[in-house]
Amino acid sequence: MKNSSRRGFMGKAFGAITGVGAVASLYAMKRSWDPLPSVKAAGFTTLDMSTYKENELVTEKWRGKPIFILKQTTEMVKKAKSNPRDIERLVKVGDDYFMVCLGLCTHLGCIPGYHPEKKNFLCACHGGMYDFTGDVTKAPPPRGLDIPPFKIDGNKLVLGEEGSEYKKMLENGTTLRA
């Protein structure tokens, strides 16, 4: 009896220590799968906004992801102004308006293609569509293209930094934090 309770105690003690060890190693394993600090620190992209042409989509790169830059024509801006949802999505640098979006479909991450004549985006993967401000016009994508964190600096746009204009977009729900 005495013996077996001693064994019981040993069993529980081993069990407890093993349990703590198991939790600790699970934590270590989880951390080993985390993105490396060097990946996370992967920096900022600065764009000179005076170089873009109207209604011509340019794809830049930020954190390995494609960034769509589409300078709006006056006609597009007029159309966007008639719809508050659309105009809020545009970034104003100097006197020009730009669509600045993550070029990854909010459905499952394909890169939608731009049709300059129709002024819309079509995602070939599952047929999702967006207008020229990146707002969604046809499902399956659940929302418009996400807008990357940006800061306006004169004629330049710094991607990766959260400026006041971007914070406003987050607050009024124009974009999710990408």
Q: Which residues contact 124 (CB under 8 A, 6 or more apart)?
A: 110, 112, 113
Q: Which of 55, 87, 88, 140 binds other proteins (CB under 8 A)?
A: 140
- Other C-beta atoms closer than 10 Å to the C-beta of 67 total 23
33 or 82: whose CB is closer to other proteins? 33
6 or 126: whose CB is closer to ligand FES? 126
Residue 146 CA to residue 95 CA, distance in Å, equals 23
Closest CA to 144 of 172, 119, 176: 176
Q: Which of 33, 37, 41, 82 binds other proteins (CB under 8 A)?
A: 33
Q: Which of 55, 65, 79, 163 binds other proteins (CB under 8 A)?
A: 65
Total chain residues near other proteins (CB under 8 A): 29
Min CB(117)–ligand FES separation in Å: 21
Residue 100 · residue 148 · CB < 8 Å: yes
**Helices within the chain (DSSP H only):** 2-33, 37-40, 74-81, 84-89, 164-171
Residues 115-154 that bind ligand FES (CB under 6 A): 123, 125-128, 140-141
91 or 141: whose CB is closer to other proteins? 141
Rule CB under 8 A: say whether 8 interacts with other proteins. no
Residue 111, helix vs strand vs coil: coil
Residue 87, helix vs strand vs coil: helix
Q: Which of 45, 87, 88, 110 binds other proteins (CB under 8 A)?
A: 110
Residue 128 CA to residue 176 CA, distance in Å, equals 19
Binding site for other proteins (CB under 8 A): 30, 33-36, 39, 42, 59, 61, 63-66, 104, 106-111, 124-127, 139-142, 176
Binding site for ligand FES (CB under 6 A): 105, 107-110, 123, 125-128, 140-141
